[in-house]
Structure 1
Amino acid sequence: MRPLTLDAPKCLTEVGGEPILGRLVDNLRLQGITRLVVVTGYLDHCIHEFLEHNAADFQVDYVFNPVYRTTNNIYSLWLARKIIEESFVLVESDLVFEDSMLAPMLIPDRIAISNTLPWMNGTVVELNTDKKSVKAFHVSHNVDDARQYKTVNIYSLSLQSWHKVSARLDSYVEDGRVGEYYETVFADMVAEGSLELDAVFFDENKWYEIDCMKDLQQAELMFPRVTQIGLSETVHLGRVARGFPAIGFPAIGFSATGSPANSTNGIDSVAKLMTSDNVVSINKLVPEKDL
């Protein structure tokens, strides 16, 4: 993402005129979320200042990863284990997606997936014959010729499942496996039957993961700037949100809780199925990987 990440966090890069992180916060607000647990690392004060101005209506709790340069998101999630004691949604902060698609994820023990497109890479899953639950995680496409679905990097976990995951995270950290992704834990647990995740399908044409400038260009096409009367129609690709220090940024995580009782977007009945309505979001941790 250079040169943008030389002086600004990737998650504050604008897509369609709005910072990636701002889009996520707005979406969580629409779902009735009122608490965020944010796992930070590189130049974390940038995220503090952004959320102070743009998430003032949330309770925000921060967890700092002091070794973000040498660890991966598995370690950041492990660091948050002591302050997450409710059901929650795990979201990576380099994602843009249509607002309405997040609502079904408020039911715990779910994974967001989509049909694969040529631009997608990374972890995929294989579904059971019912096409409703995950049978296996795979790190690449075309494993055993089974139908693969791309992980969107959004998960929801019940408190019971989180306790199991947290215990497994303890084991990984004790073994020094801090450079891996938390999907490795999910993969092992699904394979042995200790974790069950139901699939929620995201429209493959309505979400994008931004890891490079090409991704940013494609995301801009998918989520174009909404032109307002009297304003310039010029789209500034890669523009960064201002009004706070714009600094390189490797990672962020949220856990959000709160009652959706005042929500008017039709998800109240869905949100009530959770023990509480939480969201966790964690992004890439190492600045060198975020270039």
Structure 2
Amino acid sequence: MKNEINRPPMAVILAAGIGSRLSPLTDNCPKSLLIVGSSVIIERMIRNCLSCGISQFILVLGHRADEIKKFVDKSFRGIRVTYVINERYRDTNTGYSLMLAASAIGGSEFIKFDADVVFDVKILHQLVDDDQPNVLCIDRNIALEDEEVKVITDDQMQVLEVGKSVDSKLALGESIGIEKIGAKTGPLLFAELAEMMEHTAHLQDYYEAAYARLVKKGIIFHALDITGLNWSEIDTAQDFETANALFRSPVTTMSRAQQKVIDDVAAKADALT
């Protein structure tokens, strides 16, 4: 693994939202504490991070923050977790939440997760191992509509445009809500977010708007194609059903060597069928 500071990046998990589109599932439960495949969503995310050697976490919380904090503290004693509270979660969005994590992140490389994304740990393995400092995970096998965050790249996978308003006909795929941000780019990103959030009109902006502004200023982002690996963003009841169909088993924490043994056995079994 190569990265700018020669150590595993931090994990920054944005979990401040209400999840109103999942009602009634979220009427009495934060979205990140819903159960998919016998594992709580945020538990699966943290265990995937631990399997990749990531052991330092920043959680940005808002809605039902105490419940999420209690679950994480009880389930993961001994790991380093910093909690950042977005008191304005009702009238802001992910751009504002990410901005609030700036001081906790400092000058470190980090991987940013939307707390409602359930994903195969292989996606994270590939992202951590990627030599590029700024990387967006994208899936090409998605029907791109207005809701999706679309990404246009050149033939070297360098990002040319990113955002929901990007022309779907020109886009390579959808950004899945998991990105790596290099140590040199982080301060530039947070400065961009701070400037944006000075204006009321930007309080509801997603963090991708800041990525798009940096791209226009010449900051290089690359896309990592994770097409074919399982993941699901959970916004609606249908998304929740899809995630449970994709992820039927509870998550476990295992080393990469253990994972390789399992993958090799599965590959041999496939070759015999």
CA contact (8 A) 1:125 1:137 kept: yes
CA contact (8 A) 1:78 1:166 kept: yes
Unaligned runs of 5+ in 2: 1-21, 259-273
CA contact (8 A) 2:137 2:178 kept: yes
> Does structure 1 residue 124 correspond to structure 2 residue 145?
no
Partner of 1:186 in structure 2? 211
CA contact (8 A) 1:81 1:166 kept: yes
Partner of 1:70 in structure 2? 91
Count of paired positions = 228
Matched residue SS, 2:216: helix
Amino acid of the residue matched to residue 96 of structure 1? V
Query: What pairs with 1:1-291 in structure 2 (closer than 5 Å)?
Result: 1-85=22-106, 86-106=108-128, 107=130, 108-118=133-143, 121-130=147-156, 132-140=157-165, 142-143=167-168, 145-176=169-200, 177-193=202-218, 195-204=219-228, 206-225=230-249, 264-265=255-256
Matched residue SS, 2:103: coil
Amino acid of the residue matched to residue 127 of structure 1? T
TM-score if structure 2 supplies the norm length?
A: 0.78
Mapped partners of 2:155, 2:97: distance in 1 = 34
CA contact (8 A) 2:35 2:41 kept: yes
Amino acid of the residue matched to residue 172 of structure 1? M
**Alpha-carbon offset, residue 83 of structure 1:** 1.4
CA contact (8 A) 1:34 1:57 kept: no
Pair 1:163–1:222, CA change in 2 (3 A): same
**Alpha-carbon offset, residue 119 of structure 1:** 8.1
**Alpha-carbon offset, residue 56 of structure 1:** 1.3
Matched residue SS, 2:203: coil
**Alpha-carbon offset, residue 58 of structure 1:** 1.1
**Alpha-carbon offset, residue 40 of structure 1:** 0.5
**Alpha-carbon offset, residue 104 of structure 1:** 2.3
Matched residue SS, 2:256: coil
Mapped partners of 1:225, 1:34: distance in 2 = 23
CA contact (8 A) 1:112 1:153 kept: yes
**Alpha-carbon offset, residue 116 of structure 1:** 3.4
CA contact (8 A) 2:163 2:209 kept: no
Pair 1:141–1:189, CA change in 2 (3 A): closer
Higher helix share: 2
Per-residue Cα deviation, 1:90-125 (whole angstroms, up to 9, x for no partner):
011101111111012224311100113238742110
**Alpha-carbon offset, residue 136 of structure 1:** 0.8
Mapped partners of 2:88, 2:138: distance in 1 = 30
**Alpha-carbon offset, residue 163 of structure 1:** 0.9
CA contact (8 A) 2:32 2:115 kept: yes
Pair 1:150–1:55, CA change in 2 (3 A): same
CA contact (8 A) 2:135 2:222 kept: yes
Amino acid of the residue matched to residue 190 of structure 1? V
Mapped partners of 1:64, 1:187: distance in 2 = 25
Mapped partners of 1:119, 1:7: distance in 2 = 32
Pair 1:125–1:204, CA change in 2 (3 A): same
CA contact (8 A) 1:117 1:204 kept: no
Amino acid of the residue matched to residue 265 of structure 1? R
**Alpha-carbon offset, residue 18 of structure 1:** 0.9
**Alpha-carbon offset, residue 265 of structure 1:** 1.1
Structure 1 stretches of at least 4 aligned residues deviating more than 3 Å after TM superposition? 118-121, 140-143
CA contact (8 A) 2:151 2:173 kept: yes
> Relative to structure 2, which stretch is displaced further, 160-169 or 132-141?
132-141
